[in-house]
Amino acid sequence: MVCVSASEARSIAQERFRMIQTEPDQMVYPWRQASVGVPTLVRTVMLKPSYWIVPVNWKEKVIGYINVEMNGVVSAYGYFYRHPQNLENCPSTVTWFSSTKAMRHAENILQQYKEASISQPVFVHDGAKSKRAWMITIMKNNKLLSRVFVTPNLVYERKGDQPILRKDIE
């Protein structure tokens, strides 16, 4: 498998971005005043590189994204707004918030594992590639106890003994 670098992913996204900017769709009008930002690597729950999510920046906001697969193919693009004239509720980062803030959001769950080793958050997709979250892994004695997922609207936990669907691994 060819693995494109962050720099290559940004160039690929920039090329697609220029095409999207010319579409007559009202939803992409804000993209005409925007620019492509720095890609973020999205991993699987097994921590394998999966794809790059490249932000579309407007002022201090991220108004959209372009997904570039590891083989260099653009697989999706989307918006963080519901209406092209209301961009104020868009996030300031393509991951919605920082890894530090993800740790704070997960505190209630993490407090249950005082004797365990807690990883730094990693940006992943939990199954479907559109199901992005910060993942925090909790280990003890080299055994997976839990994975905690932090999204903009929900913090949830998957215990280590819960099966992972095959699609979650790939």
Whether 114 and 51 map to the same domain: the answer is no
- What is the reported pLDDT for 169? 46
What is the residue-wise DSSP string for 46-90? T--EEEEEEEEEETTEEEEEEEEETTS-EEEEEES-SSTT--TTS
- What is the reported pLDDT for 163? 62
Average confidence (pLDDT) over 8-24 = 96
Whether 112 and 67 map to the same domain: the answer is no
Q: How sure is the predictor about 160, in pLDDT bands with cuts at 50, 70 and 90? A: confident
Tell which residue, 32, 33, 41, has the closest CA to residue 10.
41
Q: List pLDDT tens digits, range 74-131.
A: 999 999 999 999 999 999 999 999 999 999 999 999 999 989 999 999 999 998 999 9
| 119 domain-assigned | yes
- What is the reported pLDDT for 23? 93
Whether 111 and 157 map to the same domain: the answer is yes
Whether 110 and 154 map to the same domain: the answer is yes
| 44 domain-assigned | yes
What are the residues facing 78 on neighbouring strands?
65
| 85 domain-assigned | no
- Residue-averaged pLDDT of the chain: 93
User: Of 79, 114, 137, which residue sits at a domain end?
Assistant: 79
| 42 domain-assigned | yes
| 65 domain-assigned | yes
Number of domains in the chain: 2
The pTM assigned to this predicted structure is 0.91
Q: List pLDDT tens digits, range 67-79.
A: 999 999 999 999 9
Tell which residue, 63, 66, 41, has the closest CA to residue 52.
41
Would you say residue 166 has pLDDT above 60? no
| 69 domain-assigned | yes
* Percent of the chain topping pLDDT 90: 91
User: Of 23, 51, 79, which residue sits at a domain end?
Assistant: 79
Whether 51 and 111 map to the same domain: the answer is no
Buried b (16+ CB within 10 A) or exposed e, 124-139: bbbbebeebbbbbbbe
- The domain containing residue 105 runs over which residues? 99-169
Whether 18 and 73 map to the same domain: the answer is yes
